[in-house]
Structures are given as C-alpha cells and as structure tokens.
C-alpha cells in the first residue's frame, strides 16, 4: 500500500475522522480518545494504528499512558495529488479543521 493509499483508507472511516477531529483540539491519551465511542479500547487501538500507519497521528508513551498527536502535514501528499485534477484547492489546516468539526457535530446529533 502506498502512502497515499494509506491516507485515503484511513480517512474513509467515520470513526477515524472523528478521532482526527478530537485531536485537532489537543493531544489526547488513548483512554480519552476512546471515551466518547461505544466500542472497546482494543477496537479504538486498531483505529489509532491505522491512523498512525498512514502518518496522520503519532503516538508516544508518557508515564503509564499512551498519547496521540495529530500530524496535519501528513495530508500534504493527498492535497498535492487532488490538486493534480485541477478541481481541488490546497488543503488548509483551517478548512480541514472546519470539516472535521462539522463531521464531529453531525455525529453528535445523529448518535
């Protein structure tokens, strides 16, 4: 799987997009990432692993907790690829933040 494939595969899942929206606010412990979801910690860890393999997040051990951090520059490759079609504007972090926030709020109202 290419880097671009990994990014688009990671973004295809609504749970992973919601996780990215949460991480826009600040770094979070894995347990805090898992809290709003009705799924096991193991399932959330699998989602986080997909995001990490795509380079969209990094994880680090801090004491006894594992922390997740958004890596917004990872979207640059996908943005450049989409611009090749001439129909897409460059991905700006502010626009991506608005998109993820709308995803999160629509999930809150539908769930």
Q: Give which of 58, 56, 48, 92 is closest to 74, Cα–Cα.
A: 56
CATH architecture of 3-106: Orthogonal Bundle (1.10)
**C-alpha 48 chain-centroid distance:** 8
Tell me which residue of 2, 7, 21 sits closest to 100, measured CA to CA.
Answer: 21
Find, among 36, 21, 74, the residue nearest to 52 by Cα.
74
Q: What is the pTM of this model?
A: 0.76
DSSP track, 6-39: HHHHHHTSHHHHHHHHHHHH--EEHHHHHTTSSS
Q: Where are the domains of the chain?
A: 3-106
Phi, psi of 32 (to 5 degrees): -70, -35
CA distance 111 to 108: 5
Average pLDDT over residues 31-40: 95
* 46 pLDDT more than 90: yes
CA 70 to chain centre: 7
Q: Tens of pLDDT along 17-31?
A: 999 999 988 999 999
pLDDT digit string (tens) for 73-90? 888 888 888 777 766 566
User: What mean pLDDT, rounded, does the chain reach?
Assistant: 87
């Amino acid at each position: 799987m290419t880097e671009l494939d990994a990014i688009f595969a990671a973004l295809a899942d609504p749970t992973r997009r919601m996780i990215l929206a949460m991480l826009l606010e600040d770094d979070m412990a894995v347990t805090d990432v898992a809290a709003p979801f009705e799924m096991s910690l193991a399932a959330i860890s699998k989602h986080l692993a997909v995001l990490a393999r795509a380079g969209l997040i990094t994880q680090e051990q801090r004491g006894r907790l594992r922390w997740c951090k958004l890596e917004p520059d990872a979207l640059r490759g996908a943005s450049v690829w989409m611009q090749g079609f001439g129909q897409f504007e460059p991905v700006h972090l502010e626009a991506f933040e608005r998109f993820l926030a709308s995803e999160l709020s629509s999930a809150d109202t539908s769930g």
